[in-house]
Amino acid sequence: MPSGAAAYDVIPVKPVGIKEGAIQPGDRLYIRVLNEPDLTSEQYWVDGGGKVQMPLAGELDASGRTIGELREEITERLAARYIRDPQVAISIVEHNKSSVTVEGQVQKAGRFEASPGMTLLGALALAQSTTKDAKLDEVVVFREVNGERLVARFHLGYIRAGRAPDPQIVAGDVVVVGRSAVKGTWHDILQAAPLFNAFYVFRNL
């Protein structure tokens, strides 16, 4: 499993292949075509396959593209057959509320909404930070890109201390915080200590 500097080649500080502000499945778009009310609407939804349907323009690949890229294709399609010099404007009305999952040695494991620009520290903060038994050099991030499963291990202690970059977390990521065997065993002993003490007193009565 890649760790240290190699981990950032797999799960970089800025995700590779994911354009900033790119349209994602589940987004709702406002597409306006000047002087064309039948084509203008704020109810253009990007489906699970990343497609959006538009009258006259047909089915378009939207997911992973910027607003400018999609606008250019719509303009070209409309100009090719139907409208002379179409003026197209697009904006994202509502982003899909995708999530990240945080598991392992955290205070509150679960699935949380992935906000744009979220980092590993931010994801762990949503899970109310790590537990006392957390193994800080064994924080693993799982990610799927183009059907390929990627995994990398990070040292949370170094990230918190500013000795290593804080990698960006994207929708769909799974973060797992490992458990330190030494810390866990010692913690179990401390929890059981009152029982040992009671047993000792009982034996000596």
- Please give the domain boundaries of the chain with CATH numbers for all domains: 5-17+98-190 (3.10.560.10), 28-94 (3.30.1950.10)
The pLDDT of residue 198 is above 50 = no
pTM of the model: 0.56
- How far apart are the C-alpha atoms of 116 and 21, rounded to whole Å? 8
The pLDDT of residue 190 is above 50 = no
Reported as a single tens digit per residue, the pLDDT across 121-179 is 999 999 999 999 999 999 999 987 766 788 999 999 999 999 999 998 888 889 999 99
Reported as a single tens digit per residue, the pLDDT across 24-55 is 878 899 999 999 999 999 999 988 778 999 99
The runs of H, that is alpha helices, within 12-161 are 67-81, 120-126, 156-160
DSSP state of 9: H
Number of H helices, E strands in the chain: 5, 10
- How far apart are the C-alpha atoms of 33 and 55, rounded to whole Å? 11
